């Protein structure tokens, strides 16, 4: 392959500002497969902070037909609990009692590779490997007998295993490509603020770009300033303003809410072909703000680890848009509870009953009504915690908040965790915590009886979102210990 024939679509990853070609990626997978064949471990615990190194391990295991077990984090307690069903580990984790598959995953170019210089890819060297065990990206998606075990984010503190077939993930990637073809074709780079260890990150940060031809920037970005810097300087320094690389951004409501407060990506909005959001509900006001700032609203994807993708929407009007179900998915609504019931190729059982309440519009569209499992009976009153949170989020001093239920000695207690705005934090410093509590209670009394109000209040500097952009109940409960 010559430098002239090597085009943008040949690049799979940008790692440490270095472009990695598909040949290099496939060579690393080939080498990893050789090591994996020396072990008889059927189930392998896979975790790596680097998306590139994770991907090498993932596809090597998949192509060897091994069962891939993906822990949601690298906390030792989590690993020990999940490791009971595994025989080995792969990645940057160690678990007592399990063999480690030592794959020589790289951070820098291999010394026996050929460096190809081309100005068409922002002046970066591209690594072209000598061996080509896989001919093209399509070959990555051939495993038929591989299973992947995910774990729910643990919002209740318990990690529930969810087993998926590789074929189900491949099917979902094809649907995403067909649904968002125009945006994918117009993009060159894939940037992400979410972890690949969860199903949303795996599908959108890794599998979707690898199959559709995008180059994945290896980093998991925590700050939007770093995204802007990368688009403006690091990957665009040798290009004109009109020729800078275009990108898709994969994110979550937590990141997008912070972005909307000081949107440094407005300078790069011409490069952003789409912004995806999943992992939780994106407030409509945030979608409207981002629409004004970026000239496009985020594409919200509704789904879960259990169900895979269910529906999507993009709110670019004055009222929230309806959710549109993805192709090959049918739904109905339970008359008694308004719960969403699904039949989907991504779910092993038909008529899967979710905890989401919806209102039917037509066969392809519905409106979300909230979670069925967030309606509780408290002091003999039925309270919807989503409704209470929406009400309090309208207060000018509230930036983010959650209402949780604590188990008291004699009865359950409602507790509120509130991340204050700068104005709210200043007021907390000037006045007593009690006066702030009373102000919020007075606000809630417009819609709730006094007996239903939270009894305990905490004001952390920042809400403890995890790498998936979700709040873990156990972490919130610790604030009341």
Task: Quick: pLDDT tens for 424-445.
Answer: 999 999 988 999 999 999 999 9
- Residues forming beta bridges with residue 309, ordered by sequence position: 303
pLDDT for 157 equals: 52
Higher pLDDT, 153 or 333: 333
Q: How many CA atoms lie within 13 A of 437 on its CB side?
A: 13
pLDDT band at residue 411 under the 50/70/90 scheme: confident
Contacts of 22 (CB under 8 A, 6+ apart): 10, 11, 12, 134, 136, 137
Q: Which residue has the higher pLDDT, 417 or 73?
A: 417
Which residue has tokens 């303003």? 241
Mean of pLDDT over the chain: 87
CB 118 within 8 A of CB 126: yes
pLDDT at residue 159 greater than cutoff 80: no
For residue 6, what pLDDT is reported?
36
Euclidean distance between CA atoms 183 and 312, whole angstroms:
15
Please tell me the least confidently modeled range out of 13-17, 152-156, 394-398, 423-427: 152-156
What pLDDT band is residue 122 in, cutting at 50, 70 and 90? very low
Q: pTM here?
A: 0.80
What secondary structure letter does DSSP report for 29?
H
Distance CA 315, CA 319 (A): 7
Residue 131 pLDDT: 35
Q: What share of the chain is helix, strand, coil (3-state, %, to 5)?
A: 35, 30, 40
The total number of residues shown for the chain amounts to 481
pLDDT reported for residue 61: 96
Name which residue leads in pLDDT, 471 or 166.
166
Task: Say if residue 154's pLDDT is above 60.
Answer: no
Angle between helices 433-444 and 422-430 (to 10 degrees): 130
Encoded tokens for 14: 């940008």
- Spatial separation of the C-alpha atoms in residues 208 and 200, rounded to whole Å: 10
- Quote the CA–CA distance of 360 and 23 in Å, as a whole number: 48
Interacting residues of 267 by C-beta distance below 8 A, sequence separation 6+: 228, 232
Average pLDDT over residues 265-274: 95
Which of 273, 355, 346 has the alpha carbon at shortest distance from 314? 273
Q: Is the confidence at residue 266, as pLDDT, over 50?
A: yes
Q: Give the count of beta carbons closer than 10 Å to the beta carbon of residue 396.
A: 8
């Amino acid at each position: 392959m010559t430098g002239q024939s090597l085009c943008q679509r040949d690049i799979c990853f940008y790692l440490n500002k270095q472009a990695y070609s598909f040949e290099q990626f496939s060579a690393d997978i080939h080498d990893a497969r050789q090591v994996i064949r020396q072990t008889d471990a059927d189930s392998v615990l896979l975790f790596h902070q680097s998306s590139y190194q994770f991907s090498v391990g993932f596809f090597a295991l998949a192509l060897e037909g091994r069962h891939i077990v993906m822990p949601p984090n690298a906390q030792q307690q989590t690993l020990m609990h999940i490791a009971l069903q595994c025989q080995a580990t792969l990645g940057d984790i160690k678990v007592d009692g399990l063999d480690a598959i030592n794959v020589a995953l790289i951070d820098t170019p291999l010394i026996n590779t050929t460096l190809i210089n081309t100005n068409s890819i922002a002046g970066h060297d591209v690594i072209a490997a000598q061996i080509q065990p896989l001919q093209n990206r399509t070959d990555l998606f051939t495993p038929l007998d591989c299973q992947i075990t995910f774990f729910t984010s643990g919002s209740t503190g318990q990690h529930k295993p969810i087993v998926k077939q590789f074929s189900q993930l491949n099917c979902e990637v094809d649907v995403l490509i067909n649904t968002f073809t125009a945006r994918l074709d117009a993009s060159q780079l894939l940037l992400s603020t979410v972890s690949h260890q969860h199903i949303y990150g795996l599908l959108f940060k890794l599998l979707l770009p690898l199959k559709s031809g995008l180059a994945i920037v290896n980093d998991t970005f925590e700050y939007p300033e770093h995204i802007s810097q990368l688009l403006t300087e690091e990957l665009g320094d040798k290009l004109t303003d009109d020729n800078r690389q275009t990108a898709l951004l994969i994110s979550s409501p937590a990141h997008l809410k912070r972005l909307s407060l000081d949107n440094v990506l407005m300078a790069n909005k011409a490069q952003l072909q789409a912004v995806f959001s999943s992992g939780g509900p994106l407030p409509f006001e945030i979608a409207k703000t981002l629409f004004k700032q970026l000239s496009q609203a985020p594409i919200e994807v509704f789904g879960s680890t259990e169900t895979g993708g269910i529906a999507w929407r993009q709110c670019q009007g004055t009222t929230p848009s309806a959710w549109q179900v993805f192709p090959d998915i049918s739904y109905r609504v339970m008359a008694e509870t308004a719960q969403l019931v699904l039949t989907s190729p991504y779910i092993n059982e038909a008529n899967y009953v979710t905890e989401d309440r919806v209102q039917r519009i037509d066969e392809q569209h519905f409106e979300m009504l909230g979670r069925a499992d967030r309606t509780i009976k408290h002091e003999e009153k039925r309270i919807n915690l989503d409704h209470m949170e929406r009400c309090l989020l309208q207060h000018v001093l509230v930036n983010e908040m959650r209402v949780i239920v604590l188990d008291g000695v004699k009865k359950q207690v409602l507790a509120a965790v509130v991340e204050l705005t700068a104005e709210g934090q200043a007021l907390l410093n000037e006045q007593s915590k009690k006066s702030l509590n009373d102000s919020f209670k007075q606000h809630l009394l417009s819609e709730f009886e006094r007996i239903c109000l939270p009894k305990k209040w905490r004001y952390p500097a920042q809400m403890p979102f995890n790498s998936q952009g979700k709040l873990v109940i156990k972490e919130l409960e610790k604030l009341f210990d």
